[in-house]
Structure 1
């Protein structure tokens, strides 16, 4: 199958591109410039920045499927003067410009990597998010993804192009950056953390499981027109995750049992309320619809994925 991929040099796109090639697909990476290494057997087409003025030229001609991973990622303390406008330009307007060109080029299926933030920021105990929930994004990034989803589904109705939407939770794996990388560094250095009493529940997603799900969505007949939540299917507390990461690193977990309410109050005093919420709140997803509709089971368990993540981190730290 001829597959076009955006975000092919990123954390999700790079292993996805390798998997597509390993499975025998003819893969073309759409990139904004000629930077970033690609496998020798992958084609590259430079199309510029993702936005409303995107022009793919003939790069999509002959493609049967397009997997759209590129996005303006969510970041803490966004420096943009108008974060919502910045996110909309790339994640909403850029996505829809790409999709309209894909439909005109005859692309049969458009797979959009969205975000669980379309559902919201947190869940109540025993009430995980589902794909049928009404969208309730709480920040600019989530709003931009939700608007892109609505636009894609409308375009599918208009053109007949099959749209598949995948909403991942926090993705981790070899090469993970941002907060997860910071957590690896804290545990490797044995930094004491006041998180030993946090008994929330969080869903996570190993990069290998996300890649496998996206590949499954390429040609599964039941995927068209559907929204799928993506996770490992193994929920864990923040304290449990830290202990699991420490084991994977071969280090002790130095966790101090400070009540979550105290942590949240102290964080608010120093302007870090959002950080405390991410650490203490629950965010669970129910992937039953994903697994039953696609006859799919996450191929990698959390402990194995954490060991691979930790080993990659340690290799980088020592070289």
Structure 2
């Protein structure tokens, strides 16, 4: 069965990759794009919006579609300057999401695929004890709280209306065009900067952009996806040390890693007020994707090293400074 998709966040890192895949697959799509952003493709009809904090009338576009893929969000912000970060996240991630979902129901949309976050589960795991989709959520920051509230409200709407809600919780997403800490890591490696991360024995799940997109596309039409929560990763967990080594290899710049003990790194980071950074570098965060594999018959199509090479090529061509 063919579907017509209404896609939000179509100019973002994840949303633009979903859009490219849908177009490549020949799936009809209407893209919702923030006003001021370039139209994502001459091949795709776009509708412009100012902000998900505003009242938006999506009705005309939604009436032409049977599936919504909602990737637009106020994303996790380092050093947030909002006086009330939770309220800012709620306006976009909860209220904006629910307004869209209610209009989708009114327009007769059958399925709503919501890109959530592993932060709904929490901030870290003990090695060998990964999160699963059935775990009790324990978000620890305003972003994670807002995503959980949106999930809960969408599930309530599904029970009331018959709308099929599919929730996808990605771990850290990397790939061509990645920004923030992952981009910084590539820059450090590219410049040959010695890094004190040669003795970190954590385990972290990551997901390549192409793997996340493949799962989202699977969730658009798979009957078994209805009203389910899925965790997604590459299926191979890495230590920070191993990730840096393999990213260096992808860049053609062997990583210069110094074997500084984890305890010393953590203590130094906390003394500098960078405890959360220490958790991301030294702590573990693993996810179990057995349910995703078994229920959907899905497996990550792209291996880690191939995905790292794709990220490295894009960095070398477009992001190197």
TM-score band w.r.t. shorter chain = over 0.9
- SS at 1:59 equivalent: helix
Structure 1's unaligned 5+ residue stretches are none
Match of 1:223 in 2: 225
* Cα distance per residue 1:136-165 (max 9 Å; x no partner): 000000000000000000000011010000
CA contact (8 A) 1:118 1:135 kept: yes
Equivalent pair of 1:52/1:97 in contact (CA under 8 Å): no
Q: Distance in 1 between the 2:129 and 2:112 partners?
A: 30
**Which residue, 175, 179, 190 being the options, matches 1:173?**
175
Equivalent in the alignment of 1:4: 6
Where does residue 104 of structure 1 map in the other structure? 106
Looking at structure 2, the residues matched to 306 and 31 of structure 1 have their Cα atoms a distance apart, in angstroms, of 28
Residue aligned with 2:98, SS: helix
Asked if the contact 1:73/1:141 (under 8 Å) is kept, the reply is yes
Q: Distance in 2 between matches of 1:271 and 1:297?
A: 39
Tell me the residue number matched to 1:212.
214
SS in 1 for 2:16: helix
Provide the secondary structure at the position in 2 that maps to 1:211. helix
With over 3 angstroms needed to count, the CA separation of the structure-2 counterparts of 1:28 and 1:34, relative to structure 1, is: farther
Deviation string, structure 1 residues 81-136 (Cα, Å, up to 9, x no partner): 11000001101111111111111100000000000000000001211000000010
Contact 2:39-2:46 at 8 Å conserved across structures: no
Between the two proteins, the alignment pairs up a number of residues equal to 319
Q: 2:21 aligns with which of 13, 19, 22?
A: 19
Q: 1:23: Cα distance to partner?
A: 1.0
2:273 aligned residue = 271
Name the structure 2 match of 1:194: 196
Give the match for residue 286 of structure 1: 288
User: Which one is further off, 23-32 or 195-204?
Assistant: 23-32
Shift of 1:22: 1.2
**How big is the shift at 1:292?**
0.6
1:151 aligns with 2:153: yes
Instruction: Give yes or no for contact 1:51–1:97 (8 Å, CA) kept in 2.
Output: no
TM-score, normalised to structure 1's length?
Answer: 0.98
**Residue number in structure 1 paired with 2:123:** 121
- Asked whether the equivalents of residues 198 and 238 of structure 1 are also in contact (C-alpha less than 8 Å), the reply is yes
Structure-1 separation of matches of 2:145 and 2:243 = 28
Partner of 2:52: 50
Picking from 19, 40, 43, the partner of 1:41 is 43
Indicate whether 1:29 and 2:25 are aligned.
Answer: no
Query: Which stretch of the first structure deviates more once superposed, 97-106 or 35-44?
Result: 35-44
CA distance in 1 between partners of 2:283 and 2:320 (Å): 34
TM-score by length of 2: 0.97
Indicate the larger mover: 173-182 or 37-46.
37-46
Counterpart in the other structure of 2:246 = 244
Q: CA deviation at 1:55?
A: 2.5
5+ residue gaps, structure 2, are none
* 1:318 CA drift (Å): 6.0
Cα distance, 1:52 vs. partner?
Answer: 6.2
